[in-house]
């Protein structure tokens, strides 16, 4: 659907050339919601603008639907852009036009007959839940409503692709949720390919199928959202995830010695991650029943990533080395991710 | 107050209105596109072309830096070339237009610059051509501001038209100088001033009202 190959973007500034994007290659499949996450200045906004060529890459090739966007003439490019809707952080609506006229705008650009415009805009107003706001001006709407108008406008010319540039960053958490729901909804209803640019892992977690982490103009890491959440490889990715899922140990264990070797009265501290169905299975009680080990639970959380249950536990295991090893093997067999933290004194958490 | 005053003032008012209205129409027809050119060719805008922008900008600044009374006299040969005479109400319109065009150009440029670039970018993402962006995005979005600023231009045209009157253009300024000042008729002087004040008030009031009506922000 969308293929970026070896994209580079360099700006000239008074302080010399700035390399905003350095050799970025991405492949985005039809119908998926692809998230691109990065800190401000990482180059993510430039990258998304390279897809519809609002920014022309200095080097590299952008192909959408198999057509090379970088080789197009200005007028071919304008036609191609009608197939790529875009929504923005600050909505970018016409302040002097009503909601109806804002949504009608892309249709007016291509000289659609008036009755067809009316039918299409009415349909879109229904889709985004603003049927009663047609004659209002943007200044009379809330942020969430403005973004709904933005979405309706972006969908007006029936695009295959929707680019979302920090579309929820100016909205409060509740409104963010409802806008993300809407995006997910239209992705499924209209089989739209969606590219989401954000600095919030929450957005990725809620709606994305795949994610690419951009840092300093390069893709640090990419893959299925669930895989990246479970096995983040790069420090930057871990940092993004830690905002949502804390990796801190429970308070009692933060200031004590953690040993890599067992000692008298020690327990083995480990972090377990469950994904999908296993998150609902009674694995720990099975573990204790089947193997001659004790397992103390110190921390537990259950979350979900795009509909998949995602559980995390920190347990302290006590037993013979052999039993502990077989218990860990059992956990791995059950597709539980096991991270061994180390041995701590059993009394560290005595007041629990 | 004497019997001759009313026809004198009515005639002068007619001449002033003619000068201001016609000059304003011609200046807007040239000045608004000039403002669009100044804005769209500037750095980072849709038709960026810095050499053109610099040349046009310099010419605009040069004309704007000449005081109106000097401009009026300095371009007499040009006026004669265009109108056939350097004296009269129609002749007075040449310097009025020449002074107003760059003024309107800068005012319109300022209004356009206040439009967030994101709106232009959104239009581009929908496949709008530069011309469509100018007609369907930039001008409508800037219209409340442009109306407010054109009001200012009309008011300064009323003032300048009085100056033009003094060198044979007719109108209220001419009346005030010839009768009020040179023939020692303070009644005519005062009446002229009152008419000018009322004119400016009406223009400003109407301009404010229209600008407010257009402003949906």
Cβ separation A82–B127 shorter than 8 A: yes
Under the banding of pLDDT at 50, 70 and 90, the label for residue A303 is confident
Chain A residues whose CB is inside 8 A of the B118 CB are 88, 90, 92
- The yes-or-no verdict on residue B45 having pLDDT over 70 is yes
Indicate whether A201 and A275 sit together in one domain.
Answer: no
Indicate whether A263 and A148 sit together in one domain.
Answer: no
- The yes-or-no verdict on residue B198 having pLDDT over 50 is yes
* Residue range B19-168, CATH number: 1.10.3720.10
A269 closest CA partner among A298, A301, A300: A298
Indicate whether A204 and A159 sit together in one domain.
Answer: yes
Which chain A residue lies closest to B142 (C-alpha atoms)?
A: A96
Domain count along chain A: 2
Cβ separation B136–A108 shorter than 8 A: yes
Under the banding of pLDDT at 50, 70 and 90, the label for residue A198 is very high
Q: Where are the domains of chain B?
A: 19-168
Optimal mutation site among B44, B112, B114, B126, interface A, most CBs of chain A within 10 A: B126
Percent of chain B with pLDDT over 90: 72
Instruction: Please name the residue ranges forming H helices in B41-75.
Output: 50-64, 68-74
Domain membership of residue A251 (yes or no) is no
HSE of B15 in the Cβ direction (CA atoms, 13 Å)?
25
User: What is the nearest CA distance from B123 to chain A, expressed in angstroms?
Assistant: 8
- Please give the model's pTM, rounded to 2 decimal places: 0.87
Percent of chain A with pLDDT over 90: 61
Check residues B53 and A259 and name the one with the higher pLDDT: B53
The per-residue pLDDT of chain A, averaged, comes to 90
Chain A residues whose CB is inside 8 A of the B137 CB are 94
Indicate whether A129 and A229 sit together in one domain.
Answer: yes
Indicate whether A232 and A305 sit together in one domain.
Answer: no
Q: Tens digits of per-residue pLDDT, A267-297?
A: 899 998 888 777 667 888 888 888 888 888 8
Indicate whether A78 and A183 sit together in one domain.
Answer: yes
> CB atoms < 10 A from the CB of A58, how many?
15
Q: What secondary structure does DSSP assign to A184-249, as a single string?
A: HHHHHHHT-EEEEEES-HHHHHHH-SEEEEEETTEEEEEEEHHHHHHS--SHHHHHHHHHHS--PP
The complex scores an ipTM of 0.87
Interface of A with B (CB under 8 A): 52, 54, 75, 78-82, 84-86, 88, 90, 92-97, 105-106, 108-110, 137-139, 153-154, 157, 163
Instruction: Please name the residue ranges forming H helices in B75-126.
Output: 76-83, 89-113, 117-125
CATH for A113: 3.40.50.300
Q: Please, what is the Cα angle at A66 between A64 and A68, to 5 degrees?
A: 65
B23 closest CA partner among B210, B163, B204, B198: B163
A205 closest CA partner among A86, A274, A308: A308
A20 closest CA partner among A49, A38, A43, A40: A43
Chain B residues whose CB is inside 8 A of the A157 CB are 126-127
3-class state of residue A163 by DSSP: strand
pLDDT of residue A13: 84
Domain membership of residue A78 (yes or no) is yes
Indicate whether A98 and A231 sit together in one domain.
Answer: yes
Cβ separation A105–B132 shorter than 8 A: no
The residues, any chain, with a CB within 8 Å of residue A342's CB and separated by 6 or more, are A258, A259, A260, A268, A269
Indicate whether A11 and A90 sit together in one domain.
Answer: yes
In terms of residue numbers, what domain contains A203? 2-244
- The yes-or-no verdict on residue A162 having pLDDT over 90 is yes
Indicate whether A275 and A316 sit together in one domain.
Answer: yes
Indicate whether A230 and A295 sit together in one domain.
Answer: no
How far is it, in rounded angstroms, from Cα B103 to Cα A194? Answer: 47
CB B97 within 8 A of CB B26: yes
pLDDT of residue A284: 82
CATH for A330: 3.30.70.260
Check residues A300 and A155 and name the one with the higher pLDDT: A155
Positive or negative torsion for Cα B140, B142, B144, B146: negative
Under the banding of pLDDT at 50, 70 and 90, the label for residue A95 is very high
Structural domain ending residue among the three candidates A244, A267, A286 = A244
Mean pLDDT over B150-178 rounds to: 87
Indicate whether A239 and A164 sit together in one domain.
Answer: yes
B36 closest CA partner among B127, B98, B120: B120
Cβ separation B141–A86 shorter than 8 A: no
Q: Tens digits of per-residue pLDDT, A244-255?
A: 877 778 777 888
Cβ separation B137–A94 shorter than 8 A: yes
Indicate whether A52 and A173 sit together in one domain.
Answer: yes
Interface of B with A (CB under 8 A): 116, 118-119, 121-129, 132, 136-137, 140-141, 143-144, 214-217
């Amino acid at each position: 659907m969308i293929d970026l190959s070896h994209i580079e973007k360099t700006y000239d500034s008074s302080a010399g050339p700035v390399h905003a994007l350095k050799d970025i290659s991405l492949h985005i499949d039809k119908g998926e919601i692809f998230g691109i996450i990065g800190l401000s200045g990482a180059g993510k906004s430039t990258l998304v603008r390279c897809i519809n060529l609002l920014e022309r890459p200095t080097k590299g090739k952008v192909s959408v639907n198999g057509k090379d966007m970088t080789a197009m003439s200005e007028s071919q490019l304008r036609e191609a852009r009608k197939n790529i809707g875009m929504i923005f952080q600050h909505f970018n609506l016409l302040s002097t036009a009503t909601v109806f006229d804002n949504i009608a705008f892309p249709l007016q650009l291509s000289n659609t007959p008036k009755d067809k415009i009316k039918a299409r805009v009415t349909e879109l107003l229904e889709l985004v839940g603003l049927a009663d706001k047609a004659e209002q001006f943007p200044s009379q709407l809330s942020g969430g409503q403005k973004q709904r108008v933005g979405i309706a406008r972006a969908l007006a010319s029936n695009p295959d692709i929707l680019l979302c540039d920090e579309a929820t960053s100016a909205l409060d958490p509740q409104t963010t949720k409802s806008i993300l729901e809407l995006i997910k909804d239209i992705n499924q209803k209209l089989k739209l390919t969606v590219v989401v640019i954000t600095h919030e892992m929450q957005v990725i977690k809620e709606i994305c199928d795949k994610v690419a982490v951009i840092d300093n103009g390069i893709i640090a890491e990419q893959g299925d959202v669930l895989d990246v959440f479970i096995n983040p490889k790069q420090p930057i990715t871990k940092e993004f995830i830690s905002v949502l899922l804390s990796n801190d140990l429970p308070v009692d264990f933060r200031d004590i010695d953690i040993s890599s070797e067992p000692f008298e009265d020690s327990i083995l501290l480990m972090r377990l991650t469950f994904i999908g169905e296993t998150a609902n299975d009674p694995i720990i009680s099975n573990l204790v029943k089947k193997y001659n080990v004790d397992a103390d639970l110190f921390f537990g959380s259950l979350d979900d990533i795009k509909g998949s249950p995602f559980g995390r536990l920190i347990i302290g295991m006590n037993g013979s080395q052999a039993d502990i090893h077989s218990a860990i093997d059992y956990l791995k067999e059950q597709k539980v991710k096991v991270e061994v933290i180390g041995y701590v004194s059993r009394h560290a958490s005595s007041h629990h | 107050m004497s019997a001759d005053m009313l026809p004198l003032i009515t005639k002068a008012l007619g001449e002033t209105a003619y000068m201001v209205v016609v000059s304003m129409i011609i200046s807007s027809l040239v000045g608004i596109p000039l403002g669009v050119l100044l804005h769209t060719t500037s750095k980072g805008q849709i038709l960026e072309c810095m050499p053109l922008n610099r040349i046009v900008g310099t010419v605009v600044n040069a004309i704007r830096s000449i005081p109106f009374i000097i401009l009026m006299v300095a371009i007499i040969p040009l006026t004669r070339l265009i109108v056939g005479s350097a004296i009269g109400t129609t002749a007075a319109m040449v310097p009025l237009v020449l002074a107003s065009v760059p003024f309107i150009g800068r005012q319109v440029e300022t209004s356009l610059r206040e439009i967030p670039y994101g709106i232009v970018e959104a239009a581009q993402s929908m496949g709008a051509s530069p011309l469509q962006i100018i007609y369907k995005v930039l001008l409508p979005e800037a219209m409340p501001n442009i109306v407010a600023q054109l009001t200012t231009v009309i008011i300064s045209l009323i003032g300048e038209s009085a100056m033009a009157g003094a060198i044979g253009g007719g109108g209220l300024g001419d009346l005030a100088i010839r009768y009020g000042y040179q023939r020692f008729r303070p009644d005519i002087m005062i009446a002229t001033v009152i008419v000018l004040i009322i004119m400016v008030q009406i223009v400003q009031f109407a301009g404010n009202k229209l600008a407010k009506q257009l402003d949906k922000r």
